[in-house]
Amino acid sequence: MEKKMNRREFIKTSLTTGALVLAGDMVKGGIDSAYGAVKIPEVEKATVTVITDNYYDALKRHYKIARRYGIEIKPGTDIYKFNLHAEHGLSYHIETVLSGNRHSFLFDYGVDFQGVSRNMELLNIDLKAVEALGLSHGHFDHWGAFLEILKSKKEEFREGIPLYVGEEGLTERFGRFPGGVVSLRQLKREDVERLGFVSIVEIKDPTSIVPGAYLTGSIERVTEYEKDSPNMLIERGGKLVPDNFIGEYAVVLNLKGKGLIVLVGCAHVGIVNMVKHAQKMTGIDKVHAVMGGFHLTGAIPELIQKTVTDIKAINPDYIVPTHCTGYEAITAFEREMPGQFILNTVGTRYLFTV
Ligand SMILES: [Fe+2]
Ligand SMILES: [Fe+2]
């Protein structure tokens, strides 16, 4: 039976077993880190719950590792409780099981406070057990509900809980739309500090967020086709310039005997770059699952095709495109990788077991 441990108990046990993997441990090297620089521990189990995403289907059936929310309706069930909130946003709850011990963290927070907060309640997300918070990058659709959730559920969160952000994760962003340039808002450092119980940890290098899960730190760009968008902007030296998302990172797990699980927010730096970076930093080539927003909505067909071809060559056991991947790319993955493709819906729990 898995049990929960506090940090002190975990350190004690780890020291006696010689398997010390402290959350918050950082590996120097970042973008240029050597092949296999991160000795990522194997987890025997992991569960990823999608708290919010762009798409919801209450009647979608369980499929392979995807356990859907809301299909087990029986007489007496309050039908209103089986309606989750979907939006242009993304939020995950991730649980690892390492040496029989469970650890969990949140990665991204969606936009709409009421919707995301209600989803957390309906999905029974245990915030008291959450050991850390991560943010994939500085766009509002990943942190919009952050401050209100933390404020309203303050009693449930641990004192001093770390918030891991990449470089410029707390910097204002801008988007160029047909009508002109618009601020995409900013998660302000002072607003996070004002919460009084969250400590900001800015990272550049691979960092363990909880035992069994790493944040990549900055991603090395290796493909020639995954380029910065001229429509995603950041202010540098008083000028708006294309954003290179230097601080965007992925979550990486290593499932025992199965390979890497790579979870991303928006993949503005390119999903192929992100997966290849995870392979390089861990020295593990086998990829079990790739999941998240691949930012291919509105992309030209050649870009979608090149991405699908390269992901197909990496040959993950599961591919779960969500959020900003867009209909055309999602259907392309389904067409070209039918045995590996899973359509995500809000509330789905992905059960990764050995
Ligand atoms: Fe984004
Ligand atoms: Fe996004």
Compute how many other C-beta atoms are within 10 angstroms of the C-beta atom of residue 177.
Answer: 9
* Beta-strand relationship, 287-293 and 259-264: parallel
3-state secondary structure of 252: strand
Distances (CA, A) of 283 to 33, 39, 277: 11, 8, 10
Do the Cβ atoms of 137 and 234 come closer than 8 Å?
no
Do the Cβ atoms of 174 and 183 come closer than 8 Å?
yes
Mean pLDDT of the chain: 93
3-state secondary structure of 135: coil
Compute, in angstroms, the gap from residue 90 CA to the centroid of ligand 1.
10
Tokens of 129: 């057990």
Compute, in angstroms, the gap from residue 206 CA to the centroid of ligand 1.
20
Listed residue (152, 157, 231, 165) closest to 203, CA to CA? 165
Compute, in angstroms, the gap from residue 295 CA to the centroid of ligand 2.
7
- Whole-prediction pTM: 0.94
Compute, in angstroms, the gap from residue 292 CA to the centroid of ligand 2.
9
Could you tell me the pLDDT band of residue 22, with boundaries at 50, 70 and 90? low
State yes or no: pLDDT of 133 exceeds 80: yes
Compute, in angstroms, the gap from residue 87 CA to the centroid of ligand 2.
11
Rounded Cα–Cα distance for residues 52 and 44 (Å): 26
Rounded Cα–Cα distance for residues 34 and 89 (Å): 34
Q: pLDDT tens digits for 266-308?
A: 999 999 999 999 999 999 999 999 999 999 999 999 999 999 9
